[in-house]
Structure 1
Amino acid sequence: MNRLLKSSTWALCISLLIGAGLASAASQQDAAGRFQNRYADLSQSKGFLSWQWTRLSEGLPKPPQVATPVVAPDLKRIHAPQGDAQFTWIGHASVLYQIDGRHLLFDPVYAEYASPVPPLGPKRAQAPGIPFEDLPHIDAVFISHNHYDHLDLETVRRLMRQKKGPPVFYVPLGVDHWFAAHVPGSQITGQHRNVIAMDWDEHAQLSGQQSPIDIHFLAVQHWAARSPFDRNETLWGSWAIEHPRFRFWFSGDFAYSKDIEDIARAHGGFDLAAIAIGVYEPRWFMRRAHVDPAESVLTYRTLRARQAIGIHWGTFDGLSDESLDQPPRDLALAKDSAGISDAQFMLLAVGETRSFKRSQDPSD
């Protein structure tokens, strides 16, 4: 009985992270006010419980054969960025991106569990690549959507309390109201607003030390929920951060769709793209919400990005059926098939920092 209860609770955790199918989409919002994908005509999945039973009976995911690479963070470099832009992989989808004197944090999750009911649910296998207390002062935080492996309550509360004042939080529509309800210090209206909600194709601007930094919230195919009762009441998407010296795209979670072609037409030619490569098995269930590595490579090529870094892998155990170490192997096969080099589409160790110049390869 205890094993069954634990398995049932685990299934609930996973359903709030991965999704039991996507609702049909013809417009941005349906009659009930729930957000919709732009292009996908997707019926409600009836396979979630079947998937959970299969992974339970087959003992999936299997333990990794190789540990996710981890390096000690170069704190001197993190606090004094080099090059036109600098990127540090904190783990999973958590990224520190530094441009023109500004420190930008994407989907920060410092929790031990990506779950609404810890200690059940996906557990962290690697410590965050930069200890929270060693982060530089964060100027802005970008949230792609509200799933627990991308939005952690205690992490954003700690950021709101950071010394020298809170960052500005850029969030999808609806997530601002979650901040107002759960994160003390949130201001979602008025002159002192520090939580800015954005719709697809909306634009904002952040001041850099030398030039403005343009912020674009862009549609991708995914979904949102933090409970069984709030499905798609908030929006989801990807972020383009454009500076005269460097242009960056952060994928968040997404399935490959015509949205990627739209992004390529409007914003393509990024200098760097952070593209999800993990949480993709079984394909019959995941393909509508998560790319696999072959689709990650396709995304890189469609966007005409100069370089890419794979994210969203190797950190939380149990999000999907592939082992934590499987995404790099599948990515290597996909890159080889497409003629893409490791310098073009790279993987970093947790905690690793890379500096980039617009017209050169990344420097170590």
Structure 2
Amino acid sequence: MKRRTLLRTAAGLAGVTAAGGAATAVRRGRNRYYDGPVSDHFDGVRFFNPGGSAPKGFSDLMRWRFGPKPTEWPASIPMIRPARPAERVQDLTITMVGHATLLIQMQGLNILTDPVWSERVSPVSFAGPRRVIAPGIAFTDLPPIDLILLSHCHYDHLDLPTLQRLKAAHDPQVITPLGNDAIIAGTGLRTEVMDWGDDIPFGPLGVHCLPCHHWSARGVTDRSMALWAAFMLTAPGGAVHFIGDTGFDQGRPYQGLGRFGPIRAAILPIGAYDPRWFMADQHQNPDEAVQGFLASGAAHGVGHHWGTIQLTNEGRDEPRDRLAEMLDRHSVDLSRFRAMEPAEVWQIPAL
């Protein structure tokens, strides 16, 4: 692992070996978000998954869009009782807000992952994928937010209106992978950027930036110009692993995690996986999520990225139902890995 200060020290160096194996000089001025050295996952303009798969192209997108119709979701699902979190929690409690937004309370800190309170996840407020259920915590009921973990810049994970609201109400710190700081600069949020392998302290926690298999874009001309990542939070009592989005990638996002000590909770995506020919490289399915959970050695799992916003073809409840089937298939007790619904609260058992 390397600390972010080491990355900054090396920021002016060129001639680093790229994925193809040839030493390549840094090409500056073509990436609108990030200007840094070539690495094993950055070619000087775009980030990529080493040994992995690039996102599908436009012709594949059209094949999907004009293929079988998605399973219809309900237009709305009532929010019976939003959660009202405690102001501070010393032990580990996780509350589902919706999609990839969760409140992690641990060590007296309040941490949000990929916060979205907007009605739609889209470049515009009047069109695009819309949430079918209200956030599991009303924005005004949030406890003081100390930290935001921002995994990548897709609209269902990086929502500028929500970040602006959080700045005004809580002024939290943001930790995010390279390049995403440029996208959120207008919010005024304090931002720390990390590369894969970096680690930084945040109060009593260690924050570690880890590889996962995905991509990024805010439009049609900025594909993979900002990095995507997973995070590990290390603390007394066990670590918390958060992946916002990932393809299974032969299990590589779950390899080598033992160095962080026992993992108390793994927060893993289980939805947006159908059709597999289009989604498999970038979105794991419930079976792969269970395989990753087992490979990581985590004691407990939280399934997210399902049931709030329809992005792909599977039905609203299918990821939850398939997760239960896969846990049974892999002989994992259902109590260890939950597909959490908005407003569901889980006080994670101690190791």
* TM-score, length basis structure 2: 0.84
Alignment partner of 2:48 out of 22, 28, 36: 36
Structure 1 letter corresponding to 2:299: R
| Whole-Å separation in 1 of the counterparts to 2:158 and 2:344 | 22
Residue of structure 2 equivalent to 1:191: none
Residue of structure 2 equivalent to 1:167: 172
Q: 1:71-82 maps to which residues of 2 (within 5 A)?
A: 71-75=80-84, 77-81=85-89
Alignment partner of 1:348 out of 317, 340, 349: 340
Q: 1:238-277 maps to which residues of 2 (within 5 A)?
A: 238-257=230-249, 258-267=251-260, 269-277=262-270
Q: Does 1:91 align with 2:98?
A: yes
| Whole-Å separation in 2 of the counterparts to 1:151 and 1:196 | 15
Residue of structure 2 equivalent to 1:137: 144
Deviation at 1:51, TM superposition (A): 0.4
Pair 1:220–1:268, CA change in 2 (3 A): farther
| Whole-Å separation in 2 of the counterparts to 1:69 and 1:346 | 20
Larger relative CO (CA 8 A, sep 6+): 1 or 2? 1
Q: Does 1:215 align with 2:222?
A: no
| Whole-Å separation in 1 of the counterparts to 2:109 and 2:41 | 32
| Whole-Å separation in 2 of the counterparts to 1:171 and 1:321 | 29
Pair 1:25–1:43, CA change in 2 (3 A): farther
Structure 1 letter corresponding to 2:291: L
Pair 1:279–1:357, CA change in 2 (3 A): same
Alignment partner of 1:205 out of 197, 201, 215: 201
* TM-score, length basis structure 1: 0.81
Aligned residue for 1:123, secondary structure, equals coil
Alignment partner of 1:156 out of 139, 158, 163: 163
Structure 2 letter corresponding to 1:112: E
Pair 1:64–1:295, CA change in 2 (3 A): farther
Query: Any conservation in 1 of the 2:102–2:115 contact (CA below 8 Å)?
Result: yes
Residue of structure 1 equivalent to 2:329: 337
Residue of structure 2 equivalent to 1:127: 134
| Whole-Å separation in 2 of the counterparts to 1:176 and 1:205 | 18
Pair 1:217–1:197, CA change in 2 (3 A): same
Identity %: 33
Structure 2 letter corresponding to 1:339: S
Aligned residue for 1:320, secondary structure, equals coil
Residue of structure 1 equivalent to 2:181: 176
| Whole-Å separation in 1 of the counterparts to 2:136 and 2:328 | 28
Q: Does 1:63 align with 2:73?
A: yes
Residue of structure 1 equivalent to 2:278: 285
Structure 1, unpaired ranges of 5+: 1-23, 187-193, 360-364
Query: Any conservation in 2 of the 1:260–1:302 contact (CA below 8 Å)?
Result: no
Residue of structure 2 equivalent to 1:304: 297
Deviation at 1:74, TM superposition (A): 4.0
| Whole-Å separation in 2 of the counterparts to 1:159 and 1:226 | 21
